[in-house]
Amino acid sequence: MQRSGRRWPRREAEARVGTIRLHYAAWGPRSAPPLLLLHGGAANTHWWDWVAPDLANDFQVLALDFPGHGRSMWPRPPRYRMQDFVAAVVGFAKALGISRLHLVGHSMGGKVGMLVAARRPRLVDHLVIVDATPDVAADGLAEMRRIATRPLRLFPTRRMAARTFRLIPPETVASPARLRALAARSAWCWGPGRWSIGPDREFFGRVIPQVAWPILPRIHCPTLILRAERSGILSRRTATRMRDAIPRASLLEVPDAYHHLTLERPRRVAEAIRRFLTGRPESCRSVVPGHRRCDSSPQGCSSLATHAKNANTCGVDPGEPGVRRNNASLDPPWERSKSVRLCVLGDFA
């Protein structure tokens, strides 16, 4: 459900943090409370293009490209530890003169958000963790190291670069048109006839994930854990443990969505974020059975089954694509398409 009001366009800007130039996008009035969006690993600010406009009437929405991602600088020597991303977020806020903000992170951005909230409690007013886990997946890390061995490919046109775009993990119910738009926006020009897609290849080889479980009890701001119902990254059991470990956490599931829920159910995600941050009760919610609800949203559905039955009145956008019921292959796209060598752009928790 989109809130009525002005439709704010996306603005492009840059900030300098030490020697690193960081690109960011912005929506909404500069006088509104700041809301910072953090994308996942190997993604970029455009993952938020279908969420941010629906939040811009209430907040100054900022989406940051992490170092080595999107249009931000590729640091040399490469610095892609979690603490480097935390420093980028803290430095970005300082560069913009922001002393207090709401923080929303998807996938790897959610883990960075956990670390920022625990280490800089005065900076984070509210935290939203979008389908992110405190764990480190050994198989995912190994795959990233394999990707790092592949050289960056350059293409003569944007269209050719965009054709190599694939999501990781591949399961999604996002519309093909939305994925094509995301792919085109994620292609970067290095000069005439030189287009690429994806982050700095050094990111895959040098990123150092961090287990975040020990710091969860140190997150004292109100926190919403937003899980995709069909997520293969954040299990319901792990989400429950996270909710119990964070003192002021609540847990909400977005129905009929896989890991890339910002692309699949953007209006539902935006509505959940806004209601959590503004304290407006929701008329109908999808809550994991047996879990406590958000303190700001005492009303709602008692189960996923109830929510599915009442989907037309639960704020689920009927215009967004339905769930794909067949079991998609869990093999990464480069394993399923041996004849095509793919540049990879996606999310790694």
**pLDDT tens digit string along 12-55?**
999 999 999 999 999 999 999 999 999 999 999 999 999 999 99
Residue type for position 180? R
Q: CA 219, CA 116: separation in Å to the nearest integer?
A: 9
Please tell me which residue, 82 or 333, carries the higher pLDDT value.
Answer: 82
In the chain, the percentage of residues whose pLDDT exceeds 90 is 73
Least confident span in 1-5, 11-15, 279-283: 1-5
Judged against a pLDDT cut of 80, whether residue 234 lies above it is answered with yes
Instruction: Provide the pLDDT for residue 347.
Output: 52
List the domains of the chain with CATH numbers.
11-136+204-326 (3.40.50.1820)
HSE value, Cβ hemisphere, 13 Å, CA-based, for 163: 9
Q: Give the Cα separation of 246 and 196 in Å (integer).
A: 40
- pTM value is 0.82
- Residues 95-118 have a mean pLDDT of 98
DSSP string computed for 223-271: EEEEEETT-SSS-HHHHHHHHHHSTTEEEEEESS--S-HHHHSHHHHHH
CA distances to 140, 207, 332 from 104, rounded to whole Å, are 23, 21, 27
Residues 6 or more apart whose CB falls under 8 angstroms from that of 293 comprise: 250, 285, 287, 300
- The C-alpha atoms of residue 127 and residue 138 are separated, in whole angstroms, by 26
CA distance 174 to 47: 12
The rounded radius of gyration (Å) of the Cα atoms in the chain is 19
Tell me the pLDDT tens digit for each residue of 300-309.
Answer: 332 332 233 2
